[in-house]
Homo-oligomer: A and B are copies of this chain.
Amino acid sequence: MPTRPHSGRAAEPAVPLTDAEVAALDAHWRAANYLAVGQIYLLSNPLLAVPLEPEHIKPRLLGHWGTSPGLNLVHTHLNRVIKARGLDALCVWGPGHGGPAVVANSWLEGSYSEVYPDVSRDAEGMERLFRQFSFPGGVPSHVAPETPGSIHEGGELGYSLAHAYGAAFDNPGLLVACVVGDGEAETGPLATSWHSNKFLDPVHDGAVLPILHLNGYKIANPTVLARLPEEELDRLLRGYGHEPLYVAGDDPAQVHRALAAAMDRALDHIATAQRVAREDGVPDRPHWPVIVLRTPKGWTGPAEVDGLPVAGTWRSHQVPLPGVRDDPEHLRQLEAWLRSYRPEELFDADGRPRPEVLEHVPEGDRRLGATPHANGGLLTRSLPLPPLEHYAVPVGKPGTSLHEPTRVLGGLLAQVMADTAGSRNFRVAGPDETASNRLDALYAATAKAWQAEVLDTDEHLAHDGRVLEVLSEHLCQGWMEGYHLTGRHGLFSCYEAFVHLVDSMVNQHIKWLRTSRALSWRRPVPSLNYLLTSHVWRQDHNGFSHQDPGFVDHVLNKSPEVVRVYLPPDANTLLSVTDHVLRSRDYVNVIVAGKQPCFDWLGMDEARAHCARGAGVWEWAGTETGDRPPDVVLGCAGDVPTQEALAAAGLLRRHLPELAVRLVNVVDMTRLLPREDHPHGMTDAEYDALFTTDRPVVFAYHGYPWLIHRLAYRRTGHPHLHVRGYKEEGTTTTPFDMVVRNDLDRYRLVMDVIDRVPGLGVRAVAVRQAMADARTRHHAWIREHGTDLPEVADWTWPGA
């Protein structure tokens, strides 16, 4: 077996295990391995009461064996130290595609049967446990929401360590162990996650103990880290700021002793570091331990299958013996493999684990499958949210004063931050953009977390800061996911274009929440909240690379139970929406709002009412009279489109006063969906009442215009819907030039109205020409001056 022992600084036993302890740990490990193999293969005959026959085997053999023995080993040893030291611990299983392993351990410790009583801790339950795995209607093959004790899906790979740090933030009493697979260690998000230790406060945060599992292989290849020269790997881990402890081998007894010793040393090291920081007040960043565990992939599984080496190679990644139902030799090998764990020593005749197997298993909530931190809703305390009136901007006449919405929001967030100084259950994260996004009022209440060197010229950096800033959207997202899933609150503010960096992560988080919501034992956790600002229309410093409004499209493809999207058009609506999302549970909330000065449209009461409706008529902006239906509806969603729609409404009011215009603003994008497609969706009656069934609707939207069609295509009035939005005409230019380039400007909207309302007559032709002329004037002006037309720059809402 090609596992190399590691000659580096191996862990030496602090207090060596007794032979009895080794035997008990080994029995637990064998039991877990047996149960993992059973889940992959067996339909029945779970205790091998009779010789194995093809009919005992599942018709479809699925799952991942290769990583399972390593996960079982780590779980076995975590049990020991948790029990021995009375730890409050959580484990993040990076190679969580080894689902059978973590499920096996939960079943052994009893937490599984507590959550799923029909999968009882006996022979009958064991048969159910085996049958359900990767079986239609059963449980997934990965560690997943269905798995007790888990906050991390092991499918996509790369986020384990970021999740672990997120769980550890503001949990000073918690140990978060994290198994990092050497496959996932190749991913970008994992590679930068090692630097999370520069953001972990040894006083106010818990500890993260990474366990880098070098089993050496991915699906089809060796892993980079497992094939580095030893001294190079050692330097790398020390360069990440860790103190490595090495455990390597393929002799179980020796590995049990070495791993126990490494865990003891690591936990002693952590305890000392926390004591030094908390009691002695030493502010230096500790060199936290990392355990490097080098054991064979598929260890204890078949050494050779059909003449090819399997254990200790990539061939054990999934199902090492694929032909068990048809090939008698494979069946024989499987039976030998299962019996090699000596199940009769591990389970009694009723299939219950024998006491020795459970000797080192902790009790109650200390069991890894039962920790409330992995079912964070159990621990969630609501945020103290102050009255919005304290932060609201006064609005007399709409559209005449300007505020930066995110700056206004900053005041509210600062108060929440101040009011959670004791509970420490609120964080704001962002990729180096909290101040750029004008949320810097926060720094009156807390600092940015920073455990590296601080210079005299620095501002707002502190060990105990609760703003998380790092130039990695992946880390921000991963940390916040870990923080939320362990029951705490937060807001992730991000440049709109670059939130696509975490498209895939938010997918996985939405899937997690969607699945969790269907599990009665999982309690709702605080929502994951995005504030997307520095948006597509205002990239004055940057241009095309920073222009992309497509994240809304991305999330609206996902589970409607989970996804909410808000486009507040001004400061007070942003306050209202944010207040709402910070109270919500189990959602992914996306707020898109600008940081640049924006007209105030609604007073706080109106804002609250408008946001509660999610979409509504702004009567003061329209020219409807009496009961006559409008001639045209101007729809808008988003701050910049709302401004252009209002400006268009003002132009129509002046130039075509007889035209009955209705202005509809949409804050909650999912209102546009049919009710049967989204819980926030409008009924047809509601939609028709707003947009009519037969009048032209000219809709100014913040993002890709076809999104509105995708949301509204089933409405009766859809054939009359005309949408303007961003159509990839980006560049470094002025704000107004951006809307002109994308045909979203006020002049174009007026032309769109004139083109669509029948029978407007000759005066409208002249108005249309005036609008076209204004666009031409704009083009000439900007070429010459590099600025926007004065009539645009100085515009305010003309009022009634």
Contact = CB atoms under 8 A, between A and B. Distances in A.
A624 to B, nearest CB: 28
Contacts of A707: 710
Contacts of A2: 455-457
Interface in A470-496: 470-475
A313 interface: yes
B783 A63 contact: no
A388 to B, nearest CB: 27
Interface string A544-568: 1110101001100111000000000
B235 A786 contact: no
Contacts of A237: 239
Most chain B CB atoms below 10 A, which of A198, A237, A706: A706
Interface string A301-335: 00000000100110000100000000000000000
- Copies per complex of this chain: 2
Nearest to A781: B136
A432 interface: yes
A183 interface: yes
Contacts of A458: 222
Contact of A713 (B158, B195, B235, B709): B709
Interface string A658-686: 00000000000000000000000000000
Interface string A716-744: 00110000000010111110010000000
B511 A500 contact: no
Interface in A494-524: 497-498, 500-501, 503-504, 507-508, 511, 514-515
Interface stretch (A140-148, A247-255, A341-349, A592-600): A140-148
A361 B626 CA distance: 76
Nearest to A309: B457
Interface string A421-438: 000000000001111100
A586 interface: no
Contacts of A504: 497-498, 500-501, 503
B557 A704 contact: yes
A240 interface: yes
A136 B557 contact: no
Nearest to A312: B457
A186 interface: yes
In this complex, the member of A471, A475, A511 whose beta carbon has the largest number of chain B beta carbons within 10 angstroms is: A471
Contacts of A10: none
Interface in A180-226: 183-184, 186-195, 198, 218-224
Interface string A533-544: 000000011111
A88 to B, nearest CB: 28
A550 B545 contact: no
Contact of A191 (B188, B450, B545): B188
Interface stretch (A149-157, A275-283, A407-415, A752-760): A149-157
A84 interface: no
Given A192-B186, A239-B235, A544 B515 contact: yes
A64 interface: yes
Contacts of A545: 140, 142, 144, 153-156, 508, 511
A153 B751 CA distance: 37
Nearest to A733: B136
A141 to B, nearest CB: 5
Contacts of A241: 228, 232
A133 to B, nearest CB: 9
Interface stretch (A54-62, A117-125, A645-653): A54-62
A474 B501 CA distance: 10
A184 B224 contact: no
A791 interface: no
B475 A62 contact: no
B553 A557 contact: yes
B554 A432 contact: no
A402 interface: no
Nearest to A157: B471
A745 B115 CA distance: 34
B709 A786 contact: no
A417 to B, nearest CB: 17
Given A183-B432, A503-B554, A224 B470 contact: yes
A791 B498 CA distance: 48
Contacts of A144: 543-545
Contact of A140 (B238, B470, B543): B543
A559 B728 CA distance: 6
- Of the candidates A190, A453, A461, A728, the one having the most CB atoms from chain B within 10 angstroms of its own CB is A728
A436 B219 contact: yes
A785 B137 CA distance: 11
Given A236-B236, A710-B706, A474 B187 contact: yes
A448 interface: yes
Nearest to A153: B545
B782 A186 contact: no
A783 B136 contact: yes
Contacts of A436: 219-220
Contacts of A508: 545
Contacts of A786: 58-60, 135-136
A558 B730 CA distance: 11
A507 B500 contact: yes
A713 to B, nearest CB: 5
Contacts of A135: 732, 786
Contacts of A186: 192, 195, 470-472, 475
B452 A222 contact: yes
A233 interface: yes
A508 B544 CA distance: 9
A144 B144 CA distance: 42
A184 to B, nearest CB: 7
A709 to B, nearest CB: 5
A195 B187 CA distance: 10
Contact of A155 (B456, B473, B542, B554): B542
Contacts of A189: 188
B433 A220 contact: yes
B474 A544 contact: no
A503 B503 CA distance: 7
15 contacts: A135-B786, A144-B543, A144-B544, A154-B545, A156-B497, A183-B471, A186-B470, A188-B191, A188-B192, A191-B195, A228-B241, A235-B239, A239-B240, A503-B503, A709-B709
Interface of A: 2, 58-60, 62-64, 97, 134-142, 144, 153-158, 183-184, 186-195, 198, 218-224, 227-229, 232-241, 309, 312-313, 318, 432-436, 448, 450, 452-453, 455-458, 461, 469-475, 497-498, 500-501, 503-504, 507-508, 511, 514-515, 540-546, 548, 550, 553-554, 557-559, 704, 706-707, 709-710, 713, 718-719, 728, 730-734, 737, 782-783, 785-787
Given A141-B542, A188-B190, A234-B239, 11 more contacts: A62-B540, A134-B541, A186-B192, A186-B475, A227-B453, A232-B239, A500-B507, A511-B544, A553-B553, A553-B554, A719-B719
